[in-house]
Structure 1
Amino acid sequence: MASRRSARLAGMVNSTKLTDLTPPLPPPAVSRKRKAAHAPAADEIEANEAEAVPSTPRRRRTTKPTTELPATPTPAAVSLIAEEAHTQKPKPAAVTRLADPSRTNALLRSPKTSRIIVPAPVEPVPSKLQASTLTLTPPPTTTTANILEEACAHLIKVDPRMRPLIAKHHCRIFSPEGLAEQIDPFESLCSSIISQQVSGAAAKSIKARFVALFNPPPDARAPSAAAADITTTTPTFPTPSAVAATPLPTLRTAGLSQRKAEYLQGLAAKFAAGELTAQMLADAPYEEVLARLTGVRGLGKWTVEMFACFALKRMDVFSTGDLGVQRGMAAFVGRDVARLKAKGGGGKWKYMAEKEMEELSARFSPYRSVFMWYMWRVEETDVSTME
């Protein structure tokens, strides 16, 4: 009997699965209040918040730009220097005149009388493109019609890598059309002071309000004056004597700072007294122009360099302190400007030392202004595939 019972129990154990021997789990408790499952009570929320450990989210890693903003806003921001929105008459035809890369080639207008200044006569400069010793006729002279062509030919001759730059970009400021524009030097210098350390849009707005101070609306004038000027629609830039006689608080209502108002009034006094004239700016050597203008409060070396290039249209100006020129020259000689981190004096970034810039640019004289203009655009053109 005992052996039969043991065999029967062994068979039952073998035929039974282990899962059948495991006791079933109790069914999950179903809450009678279903809303409580979706909306916990206020005390539960407070308990959960108390248990939660506050954590500070990770700060996203941001890469700092490798280059600082240009300390010298070139060349777009200096366009206000040569802008004649208030006094420029309809553009005259490009009349061919004698030109000289070492002198002023712009048509300057007297700030006092608005007459065109005629530069003192100079000996004609033989053309570098068509001069020939085999002909008996005198060689052609350099004029406003061919001076840009001669300049570009000289740049390419010095360094063939200039060819794609010149082919892609047209240097309008030294073209026959650019040299035909009439420039008021007093207005251009005032514009350069107004545009210092402000955006281009802000500079234009301040300049417009500055001009409006001296051009009241017709209804604010005397009846006779309003009737006489009823056909005048374009405001005129004020004369130096008018600006010099205007109190500083009145000048500041145009949006000028106290210092800029003093700079404009001091510059106007120089022109009104005859210490600065359009004739001097047209005839004087560049070194004298640089010395006379940097002696005026508010006009630094870079400002005068940009004025000489863009307003006076002098073609042998070069600025070593311009950050855009530094960057362009570094890229032009094949350096990786994105990784260049050589710091210069004053904590400002420098892409190339001034001495090296002067040595490289000296080869392009007497057309260093044109070379400088193209250095601003060197990164827009691939110069590494020259054959």
Structure 2
Amino acid sequence: MSLRRSARLGAIPSLTAPMSSAAPAPALKVTRVQHNNSITKPRKPTIKKATTKTPKSKHTTPSLPTTSTTTATSSSYWDSTPTSTTTRPSTPPPLNRPVDPHRTNATLLTPHGSSINAYPTTLAEASPSKTGLPHPTATTGTLLDQGLAHLIATDPRLKPVIEAHPCPLFSPAGLAEQIDPFNSLTSSIIGQQVSGAAAKSIRNKFVALFNLPGTAAASADASAGVEEGGLAHSRFPTPDIVARCDIPTLRTAGLSQRKAEYIQGLAEKFASGELSARVLATASDEELVELLTAVRGLGRWSVEMFACFALKRIDVFSTGDLGVQRGCAAFVGRDVGKLKGKGGGKFKYMSEKDMLELAAKFAPYRYD
């Protein structure tokens, strides 16, 4: 499991969650950020509403240690996972679909095109007696607002950070994205230990491998009326097709021997039903980690990134991520620049025990 990609990125305190773009709070434009590890309010915050202007602020926010950007993990994982992993709806997102921080909040696609949600689409049908799951605690329209309110109430210093960094991931539109879990996990394996450009190239070759004339995937596309002439119209191969493909053929896409074996093993688990959209939607956080770390090529960090950025689980707290470690250390006032060159093994910026204790009060909205 590699942590290199997240190490390239800075991290605003990992316990913060950005504000929904759909939230009614005033939109603030940051005009200046101090370089002494503190954040100040904008000089002239404006309310984007009618023509009303607010007077110049005479106060600054409490000092809050920070570095350059928000949530290092968001880019470190998702930059290597192509956007074709998701399907963005063209219609307004639903606001009343039941969701819960500890279940999959995204809509998952099955290999054959149907969609799965952890809970039914109405609260009336989401009772524990019918679903076998805990009662949902929010809807797609309220989850982010509830989370942000909890974070700010727990530590008011987070408010200006949240206001300055909108979070589309858990907004109603973000929660309406449809995720193909096999596509996402396969892309994650492809992206391990290589640059983003290399991962994109290998993935394109991998998809093209199953969309060549005469292949089962190409026949399926033709029968479904999928337009030919480019990867933009190519269908990601289904697990059963990948599972039947031999390792030498998979390697022609540019995969290493091990990655080819990892992807074939992942495909076999989906093809057999051991993994499925339904299983991933309803599993608890602990069950999810246990199921996916049993797959060769998927370590705990990879599973946590998948849980947060693909499955849209909102209480993910990845202590093994360097960006999270740096954010936690900065949050408590440590000079992360001085800590960078020191030893300390996996947890050089802050011990795992200290991070878990720090984050406990923010649960169940610890999204980093």
The TM-score with structure 1 as length reference comes to 0.67
Q: Assess, with a 3 A threshold, how the Cα gap between structure 1 residues 286 and 228 changes in structure 2: closer, same or farther.
A: closer
**SS of equivalent to 2:204:** helix
Q: Alignment length, in residue pairs?
A: 285
Q: How does 1:63-212 map to 2 (within 5 A)?
A: 70=6, 74-80=73-79, 83-85=82-84, 88=87, 91-96=90-95, 97-111=97-111, 113-121=112-120, 122-123=126-127, 142-212=138-208
Residues 347-374 of structure 1 deviation map (CA, whole Å, 9 limit, x = unaligned): x5611111000000111000011xx1xx
Residue ranges of structure 2 left out of the alignment (5+ in a row): 10-72, 121-125, 129-135
2:132 equivalent in structure 1: none
**SS of equivalent to 2:194:** coil
* Higher relative contact order structure (alpha carbons within 8 Å, sequence separation ≥ 6): 2
**SS of equivalent to 1:339:** helix
Equivalent position to 2:362, from 358, 361, 364: 364
CA contact (8 A) 1:101 1:367 kept: yes
Q: Assess, with a 3 A threshold, how the Cα gap between structure 1 residues 359 and 255 changes in structure 2: closer, same or farther.
A: same
Residue identity in the other structure for 2:261: E
**SS of equivalent to 2:84:** coil
Deviation at residue 75 of structure 1 after TM alignment: 2.8
2:259 equivalent in structure 1: 260
Q: Assess, with a 3 A threshold, how the Cα gap between structure 1 residues 226 and 362 changes in structure 2: closer, same or farther.
A: closer
Deviation at residue 83 of structure 1 after TM alignment: 3.9
**SS of equivalent to 1:198:** coil
Q: How does 1:312-331 map to 2 (within 5 A)?
A: 312-331=311-330
Deviation at residue 280 of structure 1 after TM alignment: 0.8
Residue identity in the other structure for 2:109: R
Q: Assess, with a 3 A threshold, how the Cα gap between structure 1 residues 320 and 72 changes in structure 2: closer, same or farther.
A: farther
- Check if 1:352 corresponds to 2:347: no
Deviation at residue 257 of structure 1 after TM alignment: 0.4
Deviation at residue 80 of structure 1 after TM alignment: 4.8
Flag the structure with larger Rg: 1
Q: Assess, with a 3 A threshold, how the Cα gap between structure 1 residues 92 and 295 changes in structure 2: closer, same or farther.
A: farther
State the distance in 2 between where 1:177 and 1:228 align: 27
Residue identity in the other structure for 1:294: T
CA contact (8 A) 1:248 1:261 kept: yes
State the distance in 1 between where 2:6 and 2:366 align: 21
Q: Assess, with a 3 A threshold, how the Cα gap between structure 1 residues 270 and 364 changes in structure 2: closer, same or farther.
A: same
State the distance in 2 between where 1:170 and 1:161 align: 16
Residues 73-115 of structure 1 deviation map (CA, whole Å, 9 limit, x = unaligned): 733131157644167365443112112111110010112x210
CA contact (8 A) 2:181 2:310 kept: yes
Residue identity in the other structure for 1:190: T
Q: Assess, with a 3 A threshold, how the Cα gap between structure 1 residues 81 and 197 changes in structure 2: closer, same or farther.
A: closer
Q: Assess, with a 3 A threshold, how the Cα gap between structure 1 residues 362 and 84 changes in structure 2: closer, same or farther.
A: same
**SS of equivalent to 1:266:** helix
Q: Assess, with a 3 A threshold, how the Cα gap between structure 1 residues 93 and 83 changes in structure 2: closer, same or farther.
A: farther
CA contact (8 A) 2:190 2:255 kept: yes
1:269 equivalent in structure 2: 268
Query: More deviation in 331-340 or 306-315?
Result: 331-340
State the distance in 2 between where 1:284 and 1:116 align: 16
Deviation at residue 167 of structure 1 after TM alignment: 0.6
State the distance in 1 between where 2:189 and 2:84 align: 17
Residue identity in the other structure for 1:104: T
Residue identity in the other structure for 2:315: D
2:236 equivalent in structure 1: 237
**SS of equivalent to 1:108:** strand
State the distance in 1 between where 2:277 and 2:226 align: 31
2:30 equivalent in structure 1: none
Q: Assess, with a 3 A threshold, how the Cα gap between structure 1 residues 273 and 327 changes in structure 2: closer, same or farther.
A: same
State the distance in 2 between where 1:302 and 1:244 align: 25
CA contact (8 A) 1:87 1:237 kept: no
Deviation at residue 289 of structure 1 after TM alignment: 0.8
Residue identity in the other structure for 1:366: P
The TM-score with structure 2 as length reference comes to 0.71
CA contact (8 A) 2:106 2:178 kept: yes
State the distance in 2 between where 1:269 and 1:285 align: 22
Q: How does 1:57-68 map to 2 (within 5 A)?
A: none
CA contact (8 A) 1:87 1:236 kept: no
Q: Assess, with a 3 A threshold, how the Cα gap between structure 1 residues 333 and 230 changes in structure 2: closer, same or farther.
A: closer
CA contact (8 A) 1:80 1:191 kept: no
Q: What value does the CA root-mean-square deviation take over the aligned residues? A: 3.0
Identity %: 58
